[in-house]
Structure 1
Amino acid sequence: MVFCHCGRDAIIQTSWTSKNPGRRFYACPVQGSNCQFIGWFDQQRCQRCIDIIPGLLRAKNNLESEKTQLQQQNMNLEEENIKLQQENMKVEAKSRKLKKYLVFSWICFVMYVLAF
């Protein structure tokens, strides 16, 4: 067990700096304390890892951002689709009503012609 400078049990956190990307370290569990960094949990990474991991993290963040934007666009399109379906139902109902009036007017016309 590793203890911080204030005597508490240290916690393990992950560094995301460009110098130590993904490297875990011991830290004080108290937010804002003076003994934040205590020591490294992991061994130092190879230079290739240090060079590659930041680029992978940027790519991951870009993909997550793009995913969020696409999800928002999808929600907007689904809302628009619902509105268009409702409008379509109203137009179809109006069309059926007009067809009934047309049939009724033709029946009246035929009856008028047959009456004379």
Structure 2
Amino acid sequence: MVFCSCGRLAVIKTSWTDGHPGRRFYACPIQGPCCRWIDWVDPPMCPRSIQIIPGLLRARNRNEASI
């Protein structure tokens, strides 16, 4: 079990930012400014994945929007 800095049981979320695409992290279950603690679950991705995944996500989103 992992707890955030405010003492709540942390949840696992997935980052879809360009810098950390698909990387999982622990976060406080309460969204908002009260507790901004995070801790990575996964190791950093290789540089090539960081280059490719955001482009694939943008292409998929464009395709879904056109349907």
TM above 0.5, one fold?
yes
Aligned to 2:64: 64
Aligned to 1:43: 43
SS of equivalent residue, structure 2 residue 26: strand
The structural deviation recorded for 1:36 is 2.7
Aligned to 1:13: 13
Query: Which structure has the larger Rg over C-alpha atoms?
Result: 1
Q: Aligned pairs, how many?
A: 67
Runs of 4+ in 1 over 3 A off after TM superposition: none
Name the TM-score, length of structure 1 as normaliser.
0.55
User: What RMSD, in angstroms, separates the aligned Cα atoms of the two structures?
Assistant: 1.0
Provide structure 2 residue ranges, at least 5 long, that are not aligned to the other structure.
none
26-35 vs 2-11, which moves further: 26-35
- Please tell me whether the aligned partners of residues 26 and 41 of structure 1 are also in contact (alpha carbons under 8 angstroms): yes
- Give the Cα separation in 2 of the matches to 1:59 and 1:37: 31
Higher relative contact order (CA 8 A, sep 6+): 2
- Please tell me whether the aligned partners of residues 5 and 37 of structure 2 are also in contact (alpha carbons under 8 angstroms): no
Over the matched positions of the two proteins, sequence identity in percent amounts to 61
Provide structure 1 residue ranges, at least 5 long, that are not aligned to the other structure.
68-116
